[in-house]
Chain A
């Protein structure tokens, strides 16, 4: 590991705080000024890095105190002025934040009530002030400008397990039993495209360039399609038209997926996936296939994965109490600690110089890097995946 440290960024603890229970979600505002966190006790807290005030002791500002029912998802709107949180209370709460660096100015804007259904997932359209959130088998899309629910999408086959907007905000992909359904945001009444998976899709993610869509499945596979707008799907099941790649060989169900923003070979991003304590990084090797490599260090379930913006530095937070930083998504560069009972989530600052992580006992940590440098693509080893079939990554 020594040689890697020379070339890598080093992260040092910058600030730490505590919430009263398991940190369920963590998000930076798109401009990077504010960090928001939620907990299983129902808290929502904000933190801002204000170096000229009290240094490391700058407190967390409570936006909502512990109410007993867990908050499970949290997200900032693309303009950074709205924060939405949802959870077991069946409410989606939206706050309005003022974009002033020196103070916290925020006020409740709106609450969407849908008790007793839990709100497990929510996401803002990356281009507009539209919020999509799950409600059992449905996803509703709420428009913050008109204060109206503009669409109610019926996933039908099960409760919604995950959702993700395409980076251009034109498509909304929803995962659940029997795969994914992709709605067209231009016409919500259009029938969705269906990507059939022979089990259930637990996580779904568009690549930042909008070119690929990946589904992580319960049957220990990942399905990836290349979204080509020039192809008009002929059938309801787009797997017939897009010929998905299927990655296999994982030790358990797929829990996390993360695409890199930076491009590697063939102008394709890297895809990192986790299953139990293993992480596999996939890189497109040629037009037909992807090659995977295993990253082994964690001894507990990996809870979240994320690439540093514009680089291949991969961060993984695990139940084993470690956040690992993987140089070029390949070599272990640094291990960060601070949550002895395990980490639950992490998030990169939009400019990549800070990394925040939450712990299962309410720990909240922010690390800062001293030097910034871009990393480049890496040579590939190990297994291959070709369209329609795959081999073990081990």
Chain B
């Protein structure tokens, strides 16, 4: 088994807001499983192999993609997860936390979508975070891999692992490159995937009520040089947006470019509204809500981040400005 690119896990919480994923080969996942958190963790791995995890709740799942008739990619879900999780949810002492390995998948989106689209998953579980472990040494020969690119693009937490095997310069370059692809993820340097559990558990990355945090440095950079087709585009504008125009634009954007937009998040200032509006999206799935009121001393502004493939930053910016009142 290739263990050189990236490893990705998704963590799903059962009812209560909680946590995440790790690397299968013992390290991160075993740390999560053995950590004294008093939680019952179920693990779904996507291919059989030397699992090497001593946990009763390790379940093998073969990826079964269910596409619905309309061909809409956001309705594409993982049938195997619906079946397995539905079965696990029956137990009285059911799991507190579910970790799903998504390593090796062409597209991690159906896993995320399953938890938004399926009525059972949606009602009983909350997606906490997508965690990707990047091998700091071997990733360099795999930048062109679309699997590696997408796993970085979808992540909320990125662990740069095996940092002891590369120089500091290389690490800095790596961080810069990852930031260009995914401006939203929190990145950590680790050696044996050792990291404080706080950074991994209860991330709440899909919780709209948690503040969107965009690295100010990323926003301040004027130009990004991208070698990859996968990149982040951040838009920051002061002023107020026209709700109707914004809706029309986002609707059009998701319709025409939803396939290429992996994730998006934003906090916006709507004309005539005292509250912030927050939203997030995964491909064509869109979830938005009215958030807390703007504070009196707070500067009202609009922040949006798109992570996707072949995004046209200039066009996005122009269209976005067109929504300003």
- Least CB distance, B78 to chain A, in whole angstroms: 10
User: B-contacting residues of A (Cβ < 8 Å)?
Assistant: 21-22, 24, 40-41, 68, 70, 72, 88, 116, 118, 120, 136, 158-159, 161, 177, 198-200, 218-219, 252-253, 276, 344, 360-362
Query: Known pairs A40-B90, A159-B62, A344-B90. 15 more at Cβ < 8 A?
Result: A22-B90, A24-B90, A40-B92, A41-B91, A70-B90, A72-B87, A88-B87, A116-B60, A118-B84, A118-B87, A158-B64, A159-B79, A159-B83, A200-B66, A219-B69
Query: Does B119 count as interface, using CB distance less than 8 angstroms?
Result: yes
Question: Would you give 23 A-B contacts (Cβ < 8 Å), ordered by A?
Answer: A21-B90, A22-B90, A22-B91, A40-B90, A40-B91, A41-B91, A68-B56, A70-B87, A70-B90, A116-B48, A118-B87, A159-B80, A159-B83, A161-B79, A161-B83, A177-B79, A198-B69, A200-B79, A219-B69, A276-B119, A360-B92, A361-B92, A362-B92
Residue pair B87, A22 in contact (C-beta under 8 Å): no
Q: Is the CB of A199 within 8 A of B119?
A: no
Contact assessment for B68 and A198 in the assembled complex, using a CB-CB cutoff below 8 Å = yes
Which residue of chain B has the shortest Cβ distance to A362 in the bound complex?
B92
Question: Quick check: B64 and A159 within 8 Å, CB to CB?
Answer: yes
Indicate if the CB atoms of A21 and B69 lie closer than 8 Å. Answer: no
- Which residues of B, 48-85, contact A by the 8 Å Cβ criterion? 48, 56, 60, 62, 64, 66, 68-69, 79-80, 83-84
Instruction: Tell me, rounded to whole Å, the shortest Cβ–Cβ distance linking B123 to chain A.
Output: 9
Contact A120 B79 (CB under 8 A): no
- With A21-B92, A22-B92, A361-B92 known as contacts, the answer to whether A218 contacts B87 (CB < 8 A) is no
- A21-B92, A22-B92 known; A177 and B66 CB under 8 Å? yes
Q: Which residue of B lies closest to A118 (CB)?
A: B87
Q: Which of B64, B68, B84, B90 contacts A218 (CB 8 A)?
A: B68
Q: From the candidates A118, A199, A361, name the one contacting B69 in the complex (CB within 8 A).
A: A199
Distance of A73 Cα from B56 Cα, bound (Å): 21
Neighbouring B residues of A70 by C-beta, 8 Å: 87, 90-91
Interface 1/0s, chain B 161-172, versus A by CB < 8 A?
A: 000000000000
Nearest CB on A from B62, distance (A): 7
Question: In the complex, what residue of chain A is closest to B84 when comparing beta carbons?
Answer: A118
A120 to B87, CA, bound (A): 9
CB-based nearest A residue for B123: A301
CA separation between A24 and B92, bound complex, in Å?
12
B62 touches A136 (CB 8 A): yes
**How many B residues, CB 8 Å from partner?**
17
- A interface footprint on B75-105 (CB within 8 Å = 1, 0 otherwise): 0000110011001001110000000000000
CA distance A72 to B91 in the complex (A): 11
How far is the CB of A339 from the nearest CB of chain B, in Å? Answer: 13
Give the complex CA separation of A24 and B79 in angstroms: 21
Bound: A21/B87 CA distance, A? 13
A70-B90, A70-B91 given; A120·B68 CB < 8 A: no
Q: How far is the CA of A167 from the CA of B272 in the complex (A)?
A: 65
Q: Which of A88, A116, A218 contacts B66 (CB 8 A)?
A: A218
Shortest Cβ distance from B92 into A: residue: A21
A383 to B51, CA, bound (A): 53
Partner of B83, one of A120, A198, A344: A120
Separation in Å of the B69 CB from the closest CB of chain A? 3
Are A158 and B90 interface neighbours, CB within 8 A? no
Among residues 155 to 190 in chain B, which have CB atoms less than 8 Å away from a CB atom of chain A?
Answer: none
Q: Which residues of A contact B60 (CB under 8 A)?
A: 116
Query: Shortest distance in angstroms between B81's beta carbon and chain A's nearest beta carbon?
Result: 11
- Looking at the assembled complex, report how far the CB atom of A1 sits from the nearest CB atom of chain B, in whole angstroms: 30
Chain A, Cβ-Cβ closest to B56: A68
Contact residues, B87-146 vs A (CB, 8 A): 87, 90-92, 119
Contact B79–A158 (Cβ < 8 Å): yes
- Complex CA–CA separation, A164 to B32 (angstroms): 42
Query: Chain B, 210-254, contact with A by CB distance < 8 Å: what is the 0/1 string?
Result: 000000000000000000000000000000000000000000000
CA of A360 to CA of B93, assembled, Å: 12
Query: Which A residues lie within 8 Å of B56 (CB)?
Result: 68
In the assembled complex, which residues on chain A have CB atoms less than 8 Å from the CB atom of B119?
252-253, 276
Of all chain A residues, the one with the shortest Cβ separation from B93 is A21
**B100 CB, nearest partner CB in chain A, Å:** 16
How many angstroms from the CA of A177 to the CA of B76 in the assembled complex?
12
Question: Closest residue to A69 on the B side, CB-wise?
Answer: B56
Given A159-B64, A199-B66, A219-B68; A360-B90 close (CB under 8 Å): yes
